[in-house]
Amino acid sequence: MLKFSYGNSGLSESNLEITRQIAKKAEEKLVKRNGEGSEFLGWLDLPTDYNKKEFEDILNTAEKIKSESEVLLVCGIGGSYLGARAGIEFLNGTFDRQVLFVGNSISADYLNDLIEYVKDKEVSLNVISKSGTTLEPALAFRFLRQMMEEKYGDKAGDRIYATTDAKKGVLKKLAEEKGYKTFIVPDDIGGRYSVLTPVGLLPLAVAGADLYKLMQGARNVMSNSGILEYACVRNKLAEGHKPIEVLVAFEPYLQMFTEWWKQLFGESEGKDGKGIFPASMIFSTDLHSLGQYMQDGRRLMFETVIKVTNSHNKTEVPHSNIDDSLGFLEGKTIDLVQEGARMGTEKAHVDGGVPNLLIEIDERNEETLGELIYFFEKACAISGYMMGVNPFNQPGVEEYKREMFEILRR
């Protein structure tokens, strides 16, 4: 079960007393659904109240895709791809099909390299967009649709799956015209909260993930007290002139998860001149680049570390005839070495004025992935309400789109 602790934050129970009351009021607003953006709270009860028929349809469709394709292309941006990619990389090593992501940038090189890579492979395509008009995926989908139609002719529609609005939009209309199988982006769930909907579940299922265990993990933490504590502590640290949170992991398979986390908190909190800036690092790799700044730079940040307690690989450091000054590690597991690195880094950073929070999960599997996803989603919503912002809109994103399209139309 996921555990949260803040013993190295520099905060005491008395420091948190007032902030905790604010956090409880924010949680009450969330649960009672009477705060700003409450029309987008469909994710809140999703782990216990999901559409069972749709769930089975997703699993059956995933089996069809796996039976006829070597590669599934997932075309989407932001919440339409980050959660699924984060989950797939987190669970790396258990999959029997390639799931590749496209439509999340504006790059001719990437798009053409990908089309060249799959030209001799059996392919299915999952395009994800509520409207069908978001620039990056819509542009990529033009090329991918053409590729699929040239490759499969009249049968192309049998290999294209649209995850989109239930009733309206360009993609919904096209899917009906072309006969694409469709899945629904729920009206009451925003993109960055949509991992546990068909948006994330279909790619995860194709990649081999056990969706039932994923949802079980989310259920595990629905009432986890650490959610409120995390929201409370991070807001208190921000009040104390720590406006930057760095999410840290010591496992490379968590890198895309940190990218999903950055979107979740960045889009939810960063508005009205408010918000904690979300950054991320993968240790020990980044200790050899940004580690100097973390240790001795401006004291603007705090760290939240994700620790995976148990590894499936008990690899021991081998004996060597060469003196590389590492003889003292021989016979010890790599996990033990990593834990020493984590503890040493934590002590050095705390001593250097960087508060440290810790989130522990048991191991890398679907349940712990579900725990992490729901933990951060609910904590983010509570934290946003604590700051006095609507955690479910993104007016700044709409502004850049307006300016971009104005320039492109000239």
Is 267 designated active site? yes
Is 312 designated active site? no
Catalytic residue among 25, 168, 332, 401: 401
Q: Measure CA 111 to chain center.
A: 23
For residue 93, the model assigns a pLDDT of: 54
CA distance 340 to 356: 16
> Which token pair is 68?
């006829």
Catalytic residue among 27, 136, 267, 346: 267
Which 8-state DSSP code applies to residue 390?
-
For residue 95, the model assigns a pLDDT of: 54
3-34+219-396 and 52-209: same fold? yes
Please choose, from the candidates 310, 270, 303, the residue with its C-alpha nearest in 3D space to the C-alpha of residue 286.
303
Q: Which residues are within 8 A (CB) of 198 and not within 5 positions of it... i.e. 6 or more apart?
A: 54, 58, 163, 183, 184, 185
Which 8-state DSSP code applies to residue 69?
-
For residue 315, the model assigns a pLDDT of: 86
Q: Is the pLDDT of residue 32 over 90?
A: yes
- Asked if 80 contacts 129 with a C-beta cutoff of 8 angstroms, the reply is yes
Look-up: residue for tokens 């990218």?
259
In the chain, what are the domain boundaries? 3-34+219-396, 52-209
CA distance 182 to 69: 18
Which residues, listed in sequence order, are joined to residue 126 by a DSSP beta bridge? 74, 161
> Which token pair is 243?
């406006």
- Give whole-number Cα distances, 312 to 34, 315, 373, 399, in Å: 44, 9, 21, 46
For residue 340, the model assigns a pLDDT of: 92
* Angle at 59 (CA atoms; ends 54, 64), nearest 5 degrees: 120
User: pTM to 2 decimals?
Assistant: 0.94
Q: Is the pLDDT of residue 219 over 90?
A: yes
Fold category of 52-209 in CATH: Rossmann fold (3.40.50)
- Asked if 245 contacts 279 with a C-beta cutoff of 8 angstroms, the reply is yes
What is the arithmetic mean of pLDDT over 311-339? 83
CA distance 310 to 69: 34
The pLDDT tens digits of the residues spanning 46-94 come to 999 999 999 999 999 999 999 999 999 999 999 999 999 999 999 975 4
Whole-number average pLDDT of the chain: 93
CA distance 240 to 301: 10
CA distance 92 to 87: 9
- Asked if 121 contacts 84 with a C-beta cutoff of 8 angstroms, the reply is no
The pLDDT tens digits of the residues spanning 223-261 come to 999 999 999 999 999 999 999 999 999 999 999 999 999
CA distance 375 to 2: 9
Look-up: residue for tokens 């599997």?
365
CATH 3.40.50.10490 fits 3-34+219-396, yes or no: yes
Q: Is the pLDDT of residue 396 over 80?
A: no
CA distance 383 to 40: 16
Which 8-state DSSP code applies to residue 331?
T
- Asked if 211 contacts 58 with a C-beta cutoff of 8 angstroms, the reply is yes
For residue 317, the model assigns a pLDDT of: 82
Angle between helices 13-32 and 366-387 (to 10 degrees): 100
Q: Is the pLDDT of residue 403 over 80?
A: no
What is the arithmetic mean of pLDDT over 171-183? 96
Catalytic residue among 52, 167, 241, 288: 288
Model confidence at 97, pLDDT cuts 50, 70, 90, reads low
- Asked if 383 contacts 232 with a C-beta cutoff of 8 angstroms, the reply is no
CA distance 307 to 247: 11
Read off the amino acid at residue 129. S
The pLDDT tens digits of the residues spanning 134-155 come to 889 999 999 999 999 999 999 9
Q: Is the pLDDT of residue 96 over 60?
A: no
Radius of gyration of the chain, Cα coordinates, nearest whole angstrom: 22
Is 119 designated active site? no
For residue 319, the model assigns a pLDDT of: 87
Which residues, listed in sequence order, are joined to residue 162 by a DSSP beta bridge? 127, 182
